[in-house]
Structure 1
């Protein structure tokens, strides 16, 4: 974009900034299948957390784990879109590295969340089954 473009100016109103942020969240949810899966699993974990009546401390870990997966998935999508924009959807080895590393970040974060979930829920499920 040309810096002389009259439609380009900084958002000065909170409501406008909030609206653009919500459009961004809706866009990643609508366009990214993996984001929809992460949201579904997160909601299921929140339901399980209510059912198992987690402690305050356990809730904090669950909320952290779920939200960090969502945030990293959004960042992964940003990297994918920037690479596609810069390469005009043509293969480039550096673009592939960027996309692979961003996907790796989502994987590591998801494993972190699964570990947190296992540490919190496995003892509760075990106690429920064998008490």
Structure 2
């Protein structure tokens, strides 16, 4: 027998003995002798995982499954808590957005005028019986005008914080933002005339 063959047989015998020893050990003994994060026995843990299986080792150390088996890895430990945190953050964001609309309505006269116009146009639409396409156009115009007014208000507040004193560049920024609101309002009025004028002419005839 050559030296190479004797080395192969000795390695196989050692592996068989190690497997037999590990198979006679309890799970508590495996846990006490295989602690990679405390004792650094990575090689013995690899041998143990080959013998008892990686699933058993994961259960002993309370480890998550590998990423190949667990696509939702970051929610493995506490998925319920993370879902509740996600929902609570969305609710908080919704409350902050609603609070911003309320604060802008309280402080800005133009925004209150826009909301009054939205209420009047909505009531007129129900009375005159607008079609589905006309309602879609009206709602889009509502969203456009109100959104631009809110953006204009936020720009004005931001400019006041940056430079409370009169400043010509800041004035230009405010004027441009207000011009966007004016332009959208003019277009909305023209579209409203196109939609409501034929219906009003039929009623008054």
**Structure 1 residue ranges (4+ consecutive) displaced by more than 3 angstroms after TM superposition:** none
1:43 to 111, 119, 122: 119
Match of residue 98, structure 2, among 7, 22, 26: 22
Tell me, what secondary structure is at the counterpart of 1:67?
helix
Instruction: Indicate the residue corresponding to 1:110 in structure 2.
Output: 185
**Displacement of 1:84 after TM fit?**
0.5
Mark the runs of 5 or more structure 1 residues left unpaired by the alignment.
Answer: 1-10
Cα distance, 1:80 vs. partner?
A: 0.4
Number of residue pairs aligned between Structure 1 and Structure 2: 119
Q: Which has the higher contact order (CA 8 A, sep 6+)?
A: 1
TM-score of the aligned structures, taking structure 2 as reference length: 0.57
Cα RMSD for the two superposed structures: 1.1
Residue 86 of structure 1 aligns with which residue?
Answer: 162
Cα distance in 2, alignment partners of residues 20 and 56 from structure 1: 32
- What is the CA-CA distance between 1:97 and the residue it aligns to? 0.3
Look up the SS of the partner of 1:103 in the other structure.
helix
Highest CA radius of gyration, 1 or 2? 2
**Whole-Å separation in 1 of the counterparts to 2:135 and 2:92:** 32
Q: Which runs of 5+ in 2 are unaligned?
A: 1-84
Match of 2:134 in 1: 58
**Which whole-Å CA distance do the structure 2 matches of 1:28 and 1:97 have between them?**
21
Q: CA deviation at 1:127?
A: 1.1
**1:81 to partner: Cα distance:** 0.5
2:147 pairs with one of 71, 84, 96: 71
Give the secondary-structure state (helix, strand or coil) at the position aligned to 1:54: coil
**What's the TM-score once normalised by structure 1's chain length?**
0.88
Q: Within 2, Cα distance between the matches of 1:22 and 1:125?
A: 36
Deviation of 1:66 after TM superposition, in Å, equals 1.4
